[in-house]
Structure 1
Amino acid sequence: MVAYRHLGSSGLKITEITYGNWLTHGSQVESDTAIECVHTALDLGITSFDTADVYANTAAEEVLGRALAGQRREGLEIFTKVYWPIGPEGPNDVGLSRKHIMEGINGSLRRLGVDYVDLYQAHRYDYATPLEETMQAFADVVRAGKALYIGVSEWTADQIRAGQELAGQMGFRIVSNQPQYSALWRVIEEKVVPASQELGLGQIVWSPMAEGVLSGKYLPGAEPPAGSRATDEKGGKRMIARWMRDEVLTAVQRLRPVAERVGLSMPQLAIAWVLQNPNVSAAIVGASRPEQLVENVKASGVVLEPDVLAAIDAALEGVIERDPALTRSPATRPA
């Protein structure tokens, strides 16, 4: 069964492997298969589920809500997010204004079929709205009982510090950050992680397999496998493009003997790697087939010894991205 970790320094415990439905539910995967994946996650001991209103333009929340219907609400940890435009994308359908946050949480609760979410996250930082307005709106969401905890996603260390200071003044705390993090993408390590440790935030990391590249299924000089994310014209192909360079794919293949030495598949190795960071509360994994989850949850509880971590670093030397300046939100929000 999947192990639990505290979400930052809060009292909330979440499964260290969390099921996420970005790029799958309501988009790449038919609803019946998506619901089967969620039920498989529950059978495997995953009780934490991450989504967002923008995923498949609200359809992902609806599918997750249907999949979790009838489950004991107290036994689930449901996360969603607000920021990106949804619906007709009018001038107030985006960002972290009080209007968008209040309308966003109500819409998410309706689509998910619940009275509250466990974690409500600012999907990006909004430069066009005063931070005080955003934090006050989140405080009111918490006081109304519509969200139990507040988190952020892809905020810089300075933004996290400023947000936490205001949150404290308003009677709540930011408990989490949701950044991209993998053995290939380590930009949070220099600044975001130390700030988060100091302020009590845990990381709920997305793309621990670098869009699937760390699974090892993409080979240098070869066409991507049919049906893979790299062939998905709905969005997956665009997201994975930055990793589809021969130098990266060659480096990833050097991980294969490392995984074999410790008795793990390459996806399991990638997920286990992010879980070695003590500031990581959970790794988000998605699935287009239930059997993917069955294999990936085996990364829970794995301990990678220092010599294995060193071998991973050596294999990926030259293609790891560490620049902390790449942790950023859009300079301006969409119009």
Structure 2
Amino acid sequence: MEFRYLGNSGLKISAITYGNWITHGSQVENDVATQCVRAALDEGVTTFDTADVYANTAAETVLGDALAGERRESLEIFTKVYWPTGPGGPNDMGLSRKHILESINGSLRRLRTDYVDLYQAHRYDVETPLEETMQAFADVVRSGKALYIGVSEWTAEQIRAGAALAKDLGVQLISSQPQYSMLYRVIEPEVVPACEELGISQIVWSPIAQGVLTGKYLPGQPPPAGSRATDEHGANFIGRLMGEDILEAVQRLRPVAAEVDLTLAQLAVAWVLQNPNVAAALVGASRPEQVAENVKAAGVTLPAETMAKIDEVLGDVVIRDPGLTAKNTPAGRLT
């Protein structure tokens, strides 16, 4: 396993970070989820990412149970706050002081730990003053319930404003968690340069593009039974990546991956890790063997010619519009 510093901090995390979005508490049974976590630990993964909203808090419980008995100091546990949890009352969502301080307590209880290493704002809250949000995060850090703070799917402008307030409050904003893959590169023009300047790393989700970059979705054919594209929740995220032109381009990557002795999925994970601003690639699993395969991408250095071939093969199917990050900012709370 390769370990990288997270932002301008002394915290090292595993370059392959295990995430349990969609799968734990919903798609896979708890015993299989536990097997996947154990497989990650066996492969040297020490960093685990979850969120209170995943399976409406159930994913945190599953992860906490799966990690029970492990030496806490040898793990880095991340979670997030923003999306609605519980019955969905008027204060069960967002980044108000009330929701943040109540949510961290619930997350710690479910994760069976006294603190998380990283507490992340799962989206930007347009209905709460940023000063209130950052003060609440600072108080979470000062109380010892989180060691560092981060954000997810914030624009460069939002990150700059949040980092400035965090610095004034004496806490470290060290991470950004955006969607990023060789097919979806919207963070490259604005978010990455801002984060490089501020000492903030990316922990990227969907490096395999919701499974599209495994090559299992074939052009002109229906999605395989049981795949994410056939799952009602997963299909909402994978839809924009299921165009025939994208699926055809992915198939043309097969010989490129073979040249460097990697599977398509391993090539995809290795590709995001070539970006020096990326500290870790988030990978999930519905079967333990998937973890072992993905971990093989850690520490791989892709030759310049391979990177060039990837760009040539994918051409104009790559999604690059930096404005899509802003579109991921909710216009308001759902309640």
CA offset at residue 333 of structure 1?
Answer: 2.4
Superposed CA offset, 1:202-260 (max 9, x none) = 00000001100001010000111111111113x11222121111111001111101000
Aligned equivalents of 1:126 and 1:81: distance in 2? 13
Q: Which residue of 2 aligns with 1:80?
A: 79
Letter in 1 for 2:256: V
**Please, which runs of 5 or more residues in structure 2 have no aligned partner?**
none
1:318 alignment partner, SS class: helix
Residue 212 (str. 1) matches residue 211 (str. 2): yes
Trace 1:93-242 onto structure 2 (pairs within 5 A): 93-233=92-232, 235-242=233-240
TM-score by length of 2: 0.99
Aligned equivalents of 2:198 and 2:95: distance in 1? 22
In structure 1, C-alpha distance between the alignment counterparts of 2:12 and 2:58, rounded to whole Å = 27
**Residue 57 in structure 1 maps to residue 56 in structure 2:** yes
Q: Equivalent pairs: percent with the same residue?
A: 71
**Could you give the per-residue CA deviations for residues 278-327 of structure 1, whole angstroms, max 9, x where no partner exists?**
00000000000000011110000000111101100111112101111111
Instruction: Provide the secondary structure at the position in 2 that maps to 1:282.
Output: strand
1:168 Cα shift?
Answer: 0.9
Show the counterpart of 2:258.
Answer: 260
Q: How many residues align?
A: 333
Q: Which deviates more, 279-288 or 324-333? A: 324-333
Task: Give, in whole Å, the separation in 2 of the partners of 1:231 and 1:128.
Answer: 34
Pairing of 1:241-256 with structure 2 (within 5 A): 241-256=239-254
Mean CA deviation greater in 312-321 or 144-153:
312-321
Instruction: Give me the whole-angstrom Cα distance separating, in 2, the residues matched to 1:124 and 1:243.
Output: 22
- C-alpha distance in structure 2 between counterparts of 1:333 and 1:249, whole Å: 35
Task: Spell out, residue by residue over 1:167-219, the C-alpha distance to the aligned partner (whole angstroms, 9 max, x if none).
Answer: 11111120000000000000000010010011010000000011000010100
Q: Report SS of the residue matched to 1:93.
A: coil
Find 2:291's aligned residue among 290, 293, 300.
293
Residues 80-129 of structure 1: per-residue CA shift (max 9 Å, x gap) = 00000011111100000000000010000000000000000000000100
- Give 3-state SS (helix, strand or coil) of 1:121's partner: strand
Q: Distance in 1 between matches of 2:75 and 2:167?
A: 27
| TM-score (norm. length: structure 1) | 0.99
State the AA in 1 paired with 2:331.
Answer: A
TM-fit CA distance, 1:267: 0.2
Aligned partner letter, 1:29: V
Cα displacement string for residues 17-54 of structure 1 (whole angstroms, at most 9, x for unaligned residues): 00000010001110000000000000000000000000
For the residues of structure 2 that align with 1:224 and 1:252, how far apart are their CA atoms? Answer: 15
One-letter code of the match for 1:30? E
CA RMSD of aligned residues (A): 0.6
Question: Where does structure 1 lack aligned partners over 5 or more consecutive residues?
Answer: none
Q: How much does 1:57 deviate?
A: 0.4
| In structure 2, C-alpha distance between the alignment counterparts of 1:56 and 1:202, rounded to whole Å | 27
Which of structure 1's runs of 4+ aligned residues deviate more than 3 A? none
- Could you tell me how far apart the structure 2 residues matched to 1:7 and 1:97 are? 26
1:1-80 to 2 correspondences below 5 Å? 2-80=1-79
Structure-2 separation of matches of 1:232 and 1:165: 40
| 1:90 aligned residue | 89
Counterpart of 2:317 in 1: which secondary structure?
A: coil
Q: Which residue in the other structure is 1:333 paired with? A: 333
Q: 2:239 & 2:257 partners in 1: Cα distance?
A: 24
Residue 318 of structure 1: aligned partner: 316
Q: Distance in 2 between matches of 1:3 and 1:129?
A: 38
Measured in 2, the distance between the counterparts of 1:173 and 1:159 equals 15
Alpha-carbon separation, structure 2, partners of 1:258 and 1:274: 16
Q: SS where residue 317 of structure 1 aligns?
A: helix
Q: Give the distance between the partners of 2:50 and 2:97, measured in 1 at CA.
A: 21
Distance in 1, Cα, partners of 2:80 & 2:156: 19
| 235-244 or 131-140: bigger deviation | 235-244
Alpha-carbon separation, structure 1, partners of 2:325 and 2:239 = 19
Q: SS of the residue aligned with 1:300?
A: coil
Letter in 2 for 1:106: N
Distance 1:164 1:240 in 2: 31
Aligned to 1:299, the other structure's residue is in SS state: coil
Tell me which amino acid in the other structure corresponds to 2:252: R
